[in-house]
Amino acid sequence: MKYFPRVLPVCRKTEIENGTRVVTLSIPDRDSVAASIWIRAGSRFEPESLSGVSHFLEHMVFKGTRKRSAQRIKETVEGTGGQLNAFTGEESTCFFARVLKPYFPQTLEVLADMVQNAVLDPAEIKREKAVILEEIKMYRDIAAQHVEDMMGEMLWPRHALGRPVSGTQASVRRLGRKELAAYRDQYYHGSNCVVAVAGPVQHEAVVRRVRSLFKGQKKMPESSFDPAGKAPAHPRARFLAKKTGQTHFVIGLHAFSRYDRRRYGLALLSLILGGNMSSRLFEKIREQKGLAYDIRSTSSFYQDTGALLISAGVESSRSRDVIRLILKELDTLTREKVSEGEFRRAKDHFLGQFYMSLEDHLDYLLWAGEHLLYRPELPKPESLRKGIEAVTLSEIRDIARELFDPRRFHLALIGPENARQRDELKKLIKI
């Protein structure tokens, strides 16, 4: 890449007495401050009986504390023009806000109060449970979302990674105050916590404030989860017959963890395959053939495993044609080297998107906070750039040869295909 930022924010880290890690990105020329609290808790930490508890607890944290009602929490941040939100993933939960600089101290206090002192009122739990059950129904009605949940179950059968982050209707109905409070006590503590702040702030001042806001917590061991284990020994297919306007499918396979050096090559391979409008699948299946509006390739990286997903929504009568074209392209990538020009464009796109994201200090903050949740060292954009630039054309082909073996493929599909069509798809993908 010909250009990359010459000056990046100074990133500093301090671990306070209770194990909480405080990281700051000093950006003096901003008028706003972004703050986040990361918790080392997500859906993969949950036993099946508590599936969805991380996501449920994330919702309940906004429902009031001993000091603040739910309305006051929102008004304190949004009433000053700020942004307040949260999300739950497989390996973490994050609460974040962005406000103008004068409102940062009170906003950080609100976030700390929420994660430590949510009252978990039974009446609020009952109301929010109804909301989450509707959310689960909504996602199941969105075929493009539901088919990815189906693929997760196939890639990690009988494992927490294979269950939806939001849980199931049955598991969510079983959750009450006792389960939510016990889960919070187990995971919402200093050793599982990263507080990240970006903007016109001084590191020492932020550390003092965090130390004061979290002074009641004792240091506890970091939480752990069950390893993902080995990939299923044989490829599998799962079909859901449904009267839909399109057939939605995912071809999925196991890949690399977030610590594997090959993750850089896989990120580039996924980009070349279906990561943007210049990608091979977009060009050949959408632009040249007109067979799909949405077709893409995405990679996911976890602590001890990962996945590559190729997904599309197509006319039901053309699903076989599209899957055949995808398989042909995967085979081509195992046999032929990517051209120098295509390879350079993929690297430049990846790095360009990354560096542009760093211009938004909330995005920068979220990247840095997640990094520190599981790694001891400070996040360094230069390390990522070097990792991407070090990937070679031969490595791309080697990764394709390792991953694009038909014995690794799984197929999840939702659509109106009949039994004969489903059998044809199984034969096509050699399942």
Q: Which tens digits make up the pLDDT trace of 195-242? A: 999 999 999 999 999 999 999 788 898 888 999 988 777 788 999 999
What tokens does 121 get? 């009122």
User: How far, in Å, CA of 250 to CA of 241, rounded?
Assistant: 15
Q: Which residues are catalytic?
A: 58
Nearest Cα residue to 306 out of 271, 270, 366, 263: 263
What's the rounded mean pLDDT across residues 406-418?
A: 93
CA 116 to chain centre: 24
* 237-428 has the same fold as 10-213: yes
What's the rounded mean pLDDT across residues 356-377?
A: 92
Tell me the CB-side half-sphere exposure of residue 57, using CA atoms within 13 A. 31
The answer on pLDDT for 5 being more than 80 is no
What element of type H or E holds 240? strand 237-241
Chain segment 243-277, per-residue pLDDT in tens = 999 999 999 999 999 999 999 999 999 999 999 99
User: How far, in Å, CA of 112 to CA of 51, rounded?
Assistant: 25
User: How far, in Å, CA of 355 to CA of 271, rounded?
Assistant: 16
Q: Are 217 and 189 in contact (CB under 8 A)?
A: yes
Sign of CA pseudo-dihedral 91, 362, 62, 101 = positive
Q: Percentage of residues in the chain with pLDDT exceeding 90?
A: 87
Domain boundaries, the chain: 10-213, 237-428
CA 411 to chain centre: 21
Chain segment 132-152, per-residue pLDDT in tens = 999 999 999 999 999 999 999
Per-residue confidence (pLDDT) for residue 222, from 0 to 100: 87
The CA-based dihedral angle spanning residues 346, 348, 351, 356, taken in that order and rounded to the nearest 10 degrees: -120
| Helix, strand, coil percentages for the chain (3-state, nearest 5) | 50, 20, 30
The answer on pLDDT for 334 being more than 90 is yes
Q: Distances from the Cα of 131 to the Cαs of 53, 137, 169, 203, in angstroms? A: 14, 10, 11, 39
Per-residue confidence (pLDDT) for residue 376, from 0 to 100: 86
Q: Are 114 and 62 in contact (CB under 8 A)?
A: yes
What's the rounded mean pLDDT across residues 76-83?
A: 97
Does residue 122 or residue 375 have the better pLDDT? 122
Per-residue confidence (pLDDT) for residue 418, from 0 to 100: 87
Strand, coil or helix: 62 = helix
CATH of 10-213, one of 3.40.50.970, 3.30.70.20, 3.40.50.740, 3.30.830.10: 3.30.830.10
Per-residue confidence (pLDDT) for residue 150, from 0 to 100: 97
Per-residue confidence (pLDDT) for residue 4, from 0 to 100: 65
Mean pLDDT of the chain: 94
CATH of domain 237-428: 3.30.830.10
- Name residue, tokens 């050793």: 191
Per-residue confidence (pLDDT) for residue 8, from 0 to 100: 78
Per-residue confidence (pLDDT) for residue 3, from 0 to 100: 64
